[in-house]
Structure 1
Amino acid sequence: MPSDAEAQSQPAPSSAPSSAPATPEARTDCPPPAKSWKPKACVTHAEHGKGTIIAATGKGDTAELIVEFDSGQKTVTGKSVKACKRSLSDDLLPIGILIVVITVVIIRLPKVELGHTTAFRKRRLLNWLPLGLSYSFLYFGRYNIKMFQGEFEGGLTAAQYGTVFGVGSAVYGLSFLLNGPLTDRWGGRRTILIATMGSGFANALMGYMAISGNTFGMTPTVAFAVAFAINMYFQSFGAVSIVKVNAAWFHLRERGTFGGIFGILISLGLYFAYDVGKRIVELTVTEKGDTAQWLFWIPAGILWIFFVLSYIFVRNQPSDAGHPNFDLGDGQKADEKPLTVVQVFVKLLTHPVILVISFIELCSGFLRQAILQWGVDFGKALGLNDETKGWFDSFVFQNWGMVSCIAGITGGIFAGAISDHLFQSRRSPISAVLYGIMLVGAIAIVPLLSVHPGAIGWVVVAMSMAIIGVHGMLTATASADFAGKKNTGMAVGIIDGFVYVGSTVQSFLYGAMLPASKITGPDGCPMTNPEASNVSNWMIWPAAMIPVALVGFALSLKIWNARATKGGGGH
């Protein structure tokens, strides 16, 4: 795939002298960089099995390595060994154990008795499970674009990625103005089908562009921004659909726990996008010239499978599945007259609680993506994803997807349980507590940049737990509580639209301000940017998060006592 410079090259004006050295023209025939072998790194050998490097001389295939194997110390060449890779089972086991433990804890919590029959509970499970997993895999098909930021053929640079994700985020946020009302009109079942089919198509398109290099006459940045924008339009149906459907199946007093389940679904999607996505790239991009089309084609295929499952099992409300509808206890009058789209929009935007929630979630959008999108780049730039740095410093950044998944599951499910059982189904108190964690974490990163950067990974884990918990409580739960079942689609649309305003702002801000991991070297080939490993260049990362976290915390305190009442009010 041609670079932007090649696809849209323009001659520099000869009459503009400059004292600065000219930027070398990027080459496309650069050899792959020679691999650096580091002491303490794990390697595998065809004859001797797994071992640990004791010392290394040279780079790449010709390097001479002294390796400690089970059979003793051996001297081998770089060509004869491969770096160890974690198996998926190593990651899935702790995630599975965590889910089992959380399930046991939730089962043991005091029950919210609403008279549901066993048959109803089983049918509700059959309804939300394929719907929820569809949403998880929509996340897979959304954040896989991050793994397309790489050094392989056609991969995006940090600046290109910032533009592509920023454009997609803007489209995602604006799409809710249309897709929220459409979901209220058509029902969540139809719109989750639109989301899975459309996002699958967009991912298939990006995979085609990755393998063929065909960008339809556009620069790669523009082409992927357009394709990702198409993807994000269909993705915007996802959150609206799952909250819309589940608003009809869960009573207000059960929705905190559902908000926790929403956090689990998000977290599983992040794991697939980051860790499984990374493994897809590792397994399919092994030689110079290889492309990363499977990074897009695998999520596309999974989304189409869940299109079929959602078509078979998902229904908009209990009565569509042979069970009676019931009073949901939320902000919806039983005899409320239908309103026009404009009337609903005005009603929601002038609702004192929903408006404040929207601005809290704008802060959440900024902070969530600031952590998830740029934390992994921070770890790479400072070499914290290198196992030779030691377990404490490297574990989080080596296992970004798994750790983010576990943190999100923990934060989401316990935030939901505490909201329902300790705060009587009020969502703001637990959101304020979680925003307090976000604020303390952002402040703590500033001195740690200078004192102990490796500890930042564990601070980010706590922040991930907090921000995913907030998002589940407010977007997935409070929106349905205060807007009522009939207006849930528009409420989620408005709130999630604000989320992606925050996402858009951070994407362009950090894309422009943070150091690129690679630059063009004097010979025209990519080289590591020495500025990326300078911790002072990362100060903008936590500095921008601190005021945003402070605003979110203050707004959460403002609506601490807000409750949903019949008719959509809040007090």
Structure 2
Amino acid sequence: MKHSPAFRLRRFLNWFPLGLTYAAMYMGRYNFNIVKNDIGAWYHLDKAQMGLIASAGFWTYGLAVAFNGPLADRIGGRKAILVGSLGAALLNLAIGFMFLNGHVTQILVSMSLLWSLNMYFQSFGALSVVKVNSTWFHVQERGVFGGIFGIMISSGYFLATTIGAWLLASFRSWTVIWFVPAAAMAFMFAVDWFLVRNRPSHAGYPDFDTGDGSNAGSAEDAPLPLSDLIKKVFHNPIIVSLIFAEFCTGFVRQGVMLYFTEYLQEIYHLGKKEHLFWWTGIAFMGGGILGGLLCGWMSDKLFQSRRPPVAFFFYLVQVVMLGLLGMTLGQGTWGGQIWAVILLGLTAMFIFGVHGMLSGTASMDFGGRKAAASVAGALDGIQYIGSGLTGFGLGWILKTYGWDGVAIHGHQPAHAWVWVGSIIPFSLIGAFIMTRIWNAKAGAGAH
């Protein structure tokens, strides 16, 4: 697609703030992963109990994103990102003040409730991004753009992990890890209010046929009736296949992200206040950037905008990376710690790449402009249903059997095969699903 320089600049001023907002929302979502074991130690809660809080949030997100998808299609992506960022900012602020009090009773109930409310508002993030960008980018631009946008999203992991760990090391109380994301999201709410627009015509530029099978002559894209929307999402075998694949992605992604802090600390003795731990966030960001760009480039340039072949390859490499994570190299030593951080970054590269490809790009492709947010909601929703199993489920497994199948108090794990062995089957299932929709491509099947 050939666009004028003025249009490209205005489009940049539209998607760049969206990306920064989503990154800030990630910081207000993954901060829990960083501080989870601190909360558990302070309130004497084990991995399974802390996993219950995570599961409550994941499943709230999963249900909310499915309902909020059609809502975002109706109210528009701009309003959706404003509601999501402001709501998540207020909930992070409330959690921070709750812990600042220092005398929290019924921590499992109160934290599960507040965290679930935060995840409800977080669910508007991906929906609004997909909804807005579905009108600004042609289908032939979306693969590479998805990679570029992945850079913005990946910066959220850097904010949550590296900046979050630095905040924990720099301030006496870990409650600060809730206040900083709240401020960042509130700031981006103000930026989005002034800059983000739903479609080119709202910013003074003509709308255009995005090539995804939507009706190019529909200026405002009137929302589909609910019955048509349900038929479009659940009667399309390609979208249904993507939904099952994203369930697997959810388990793999959060199975790593939810426990990597304990993995580094309990196997490699790498605490959050050490400088090397801060590099984990940089590794996640670098992996996410490379994975997103490589995934987008391969799908657009090598497979003519087909997403499944690239996702298949990424799923298989996930298996290799997870297998390597299951081994320990010089545990407790400097070399072993570096090995672990690098491996986490490489694993993130192939997890985040396929997640962005399916949940972001493919949802635009097969949802079209009118149902982009609804399809994104279905994909992201089922992904977080799978994620919920990593909370209490994987938490219980690790509590019961340990990292290496020897759950003895004070035992030094020899490897982490229990952890990665619980995750790898989902990568294999995801790869198999991609073989069933190998030739799926937007256009004819996305109307």
TM-score by length of 2: 0.90
Residues 411-455 of structure 1 deviation map (CA, whole Å, 9 limit, x = unaligned): 111211222122111111111111110122234445x25997934
| Structure-2 separation of matches of 1:498 and 1:386 | 33
Per the TM alignment, residue 161 of structure 1 is displaced from its structure 2 partner at its CA by 2.6
SS of equivalent residue, structure 1 residue 467: helix
Per the TM alignment, residue 347 of structure 1 is displaced from its structure 2 partner at its CA by 2.1
Aligned match of 1:421 in 279, 301, 317? 301
2:22 matched to 1:138?
no
Per the TM alignment, residue 266 of structure 1 is displaced from its structure 2 partner at its CA by 2.3
Aligned match of 2:147 in 257, 260, 272? 260
2:86 matched to 1:207?
no
- Residues 365 and 500, structure 1, Cα contact 8 Å, conserved in 2: yes
- In structure 1, the residue matched to 2:202 is 320
- In structure 2, the residue matched to 1:249 is 136
- In structure 1, the residue matched to 2:443 is 565
Per the TM alignment, residue 299 of structure 1 is displaced from its structure 2 partner at its CA by 0.7
2:6 matched to 1:119?
yes
- In structure 1, the residue matched to 2:405 is none
SS of equivalent residue, structure 1 residue 565: coil
Bigger mean CA deviation after superposition, 492-501 or 378-387: 378-387
- In structure 1, the residue matched to 2:414 is 535
| Structure-2 separation of matches of 1:398 and 1:234 | 28
| Structure-2 separation of matches of 1:244 and 1:338 | 12
| Structure-2 separation of matches of 1:346 and 1:508 | 33
2:339 matched to 1:339?
no
| Structure-2 separation of matches of 1:325 and 1:298 | 38
Residues 292-314 of structure 1 deviation map (CA, whole Å, 9 limit, x = unaligned): 22111111011111000000000
Change in CA separation of 1:334 and 1:318 when aligned onto 2, cut-off 3 Å: closer
- In structure 2, the residue matched to 1:508 is 392
- In structure 2, the residue matched to 1:51 is none
| Structure-2 separation of matches of 1:515 and 1:440 | 25
Matches of residues 314-393 of structure 1 in structure 2 within 5 Å? 314-334=196-216, 339-385=224-270
| Structure-2 separation of matches of 1:127 and 1:274 | 27
2:287 matched to 1:400?
no
Matches of residues 246-325 of structure 1 in structure 2 within 5 Å? 246-285=133-172, 291-325=173-207
Per the TM alignment, residue 480 of structure 1 is displaced from its structure 2 partner at its CA by 0.5
Instruction: Tell me the number of residue pairs that the alignment of Structure 1 and Structure 2 aligns.
Output: 431
Change in CA separation of 1:272 and 1:529 when aligned onto 2, cut-off 3 Å: farther
Change in CA separation of 1:386 and 1:335 when aligned onto 2, cut-off 3 Å: closer
- In structure 2, the residue matched to 1:93 is none
Aligned match of 1:467 in 346, 351, 366? 351
- Residues 162 and 280, structure 2, Cα contact 8 Å, conserved in 1: yes
Per the TM alignment, residue 165 of structure 1 is displaced from its structure 2 partner at its CA by 1.0
Per the TM alignment, residue 339 of structure 1 is displaced from its structure 2 partner at its CA by 3.0
- Residues 385 and 398, structure 1, Cα contact 8 Å, conserved in 2: no
- In structure 1, the residue matched to 2:75 is 186
Per the TM alignment, residue 396 of structure 1 is displaced from its structure 2 partner at its CA by 7.0
- Residues 130 and 310, structure 1, Cα contact 8 Å, conserved in 2: yes
Residues 523-557 of structure 1 deviation map (CA, whole Å, 9 limit, x = unaligned): xxxxx9413x3236x43211111211110111112
Letter of the 1:242 counterpart: V
Per the TM alignment, residue 258 of structure 1 is displaced from its structure 2 partner at its CA by 1.8
Rg larger in structure: 1
Letter of the 2:150 counterpart: G
| Structure-2 separation of matches of 1:501 and 1:566 | 30
Letter of the 2:362 counterpart: A
Aligned match of 2:368 in 464, 484, 502? 484
SS of equivalent residue, structure 1 residue 323: coil
SS of equivalent residue, structure 2 residue 213: coil
Change in CA separation of 1:293 and 1:456 when aligned onto 2, cut-off 3 Å: closer
- Residues 96 and 175, structure 2, Cα contact 8 Å, conserved in 1: yes
- Residues 154 and 288, structure 2, Cα contact 8 Å, conserved in 1: yes
Residues 270-290 of structure 1 deviation map (CA, whole Å, 9 limit, x = unaligned): 1111111111111112xxxxx
Letter of the 1:420 counterpart: D
Letter of the 1:233 counterpart: Y
Letter of the 1:368 counterpart: R
Letter of the 1:180 counterpart: G
- Residues 172 and 497, structure 1, Cα contact 8 Å, conserved in 2: yes
Matches of residues 153-164 of structure 1 in structure 2 within 5 Å? 154=42, 158-164=47-53
Q: Is there any run of 5+ residues in structure 1 with no aligned partner, and where?
A: 1-113, 286-290, 388-393, 519-527
| Structure-1 separation of matches of 2:372 and 2:301 | 23
- Residues 449 and 539, structure 1, Cα contact 8 Å, conserved in 2: no
Change in CA separation of 1:535 and 1:396 when aligned onto 2, cut-off 3 Å: farther
Letter of the 2:286 counterpart: I
Bigger mean CA deviation after superposition, 177-186 or 256-265: 256-265
- Residues 140 and 269, structure 1, Cα contact 8 Å, conserved in 2: yes
- Residues 15 and 133, structure 2, Cα contact 8 Å, conserved in 1: yes
Matches of residues 436-475 of structure 1 in structure 2 within 5 Å? 436-446=316-326, 448-449=327-328, 454=336, 455-475=339-359
| Structure-2 separation of matches of 1:214 and 1:195 | 29
Matches of residues 165-180 of structure 1 in structure 2 within 5 Å? 165-180=54-69
SS of equivalent residue, structure 1 residue 165: helix
| Structure-1 separation of matches of 2:143 and 2:341 | 28
TM-score by length of 1: 0.71
Give the % identical residues. Answer: 37
Q: CA RMSD in A?
A: 2.6
2:13 matched to 1:129?
no
